[in-house]
Amino acid sequence: MNNETEYEAPIAGLGLAGTLKVKNLKVCGDLKLVVSRVKGEFEARDETMEKYVHLVRAVMTQFDECHIDYIPREENVKVDALSKFVSSEVEESSGSVYFRVLKIRSIDIKFVAPIGLGGSWIDPIKAHMQTGWLPNDVMEARKLAVQALRYYLIEGILYKRSYVVPYLKCLRPDEARLALKEVHEGICGQHLGTGPLRTK
């Protein structure tokens, strides 16, 4: 395994834990250098490794409490099992283990607003929920991770959680303008006058 894989594994695991709404988490790693870098005990001198360390730390901020600790390889049986799985043929393990093949490194994922729709407050939240993307700034990353907890993503559509009414569909500015136009034109049925309420 190369060093990049040693960072991709915790990033994927942290993303899964976030999706499961885990609040407190303990991460165990058997590569002391990686654990020490993430904890801030060692400095990453290579630019690529520095980006990975920054990303791991940013993803960790989405939890109320998250610690990373070193565990010797011989004490980590699960890692041995996974390393054997990685080196085996995919067909041999099909159906027994869930896995995802990364097409691009996590540090190379850039947030881009959908073409033709323009930027919207919805885009960063969806990007985080779909791919685990977080801003480079640690405070902004934590803010986005916390904000995303108030939303659901259902079939690619973002909804705000609500405890008293059905989920609220989130609209982009152009979609909101169209919805308001349709309401005011009466597409949703007859509406009462919009003037001030009068009493006799």
Whether residue 194 has pLDDT greater than 80: no
d(CA 13, CA 145): 15
Strand partners, 45: none
CATH number at residue 11: 3.30.420.10
2 confidence band (pLDDT: 50, 70, 90): low
Candidate from 19-33, 61-75, 85-99, 140-154 with smallest mean pLDDT = 85-99
The number of folded domains in the chain is 2
User: Which is higher by pLDDT, 99 or 150?
Assistant: 150
pLDDT computed for residue 83 by the predictor: 57
Q: Under a CB-based contact definition with an 8 Å cutoff, are residues 68 and 38 in contact? A: yes
**Shared-domain flag, residues 76 and 139:** no
pLDDT computed for residue 197 by the predictor: 45
pTM value is: 0.52
Grouping H, G, I as helix, E, B as strand and the rest as coil, residue 25 is: strand
Q: Strands 24-29 and 151-154, how do they pair?
A: unpaired
Amino acid at position 74, single letter: E
Q: Which tens digits make up the pLDDT trace of 34-64?
A: 999 999 898 888 888 888 888 888 888 878 8
**Shared-domain flag, residues 70 and 124:** no
**Shared-domain flag, residues 74 and 38:** yes
* CA-based nearest residue to 17, from 29, 25, 9: 25
In terms of residue numbers, what domain contains 101? 3-108
Whether residue 91 has pLDDT greater than 50: no
Residue 20 falls inside a structural domain: yes
d(CA 116, CA 129): 21
**Shared-domain flag, residues 103 and 10:** yes
Whether residue 10 has pLDDT greater than 80: yes
* CA-based nearest residue to 79, from 28, 37, 32: 28
Mean pLDDT across the chain, nearest whole number?
75
* CA-based nearest residue to 7, from 26, 27, 23: 27
Whether residue 191 has pLDDT greater than 60: no
Q: Which tens digits make up the pLDDT trace of 114-150?
A: 444 456 888 888 888 877 788 878 888 888 888 888 8
pLDDT computed for residue 20 by the predictor: 74
Asked which of 46, 75, 108 is the last residue of a domain, the reply is 108
Whether residue 97 has pLDDT greater than 80: no
d(CA 126, CA 65): 24
With vertex at residue 54, the alpha carbon angle to CA 139 and CA 72, rounded to the nearest 5 degrees, is 125
Residue 78 tokens, joined:
């699960």
Asked which of 70, 88, 108 is the last residue of a domain, the reply is 108
pLDDT computed for residue 183 by the predictor: 74
Q: Which of 27-36, 86-95, 97-106, 134-143 has the highest mean pLDDT?
A: 27-36
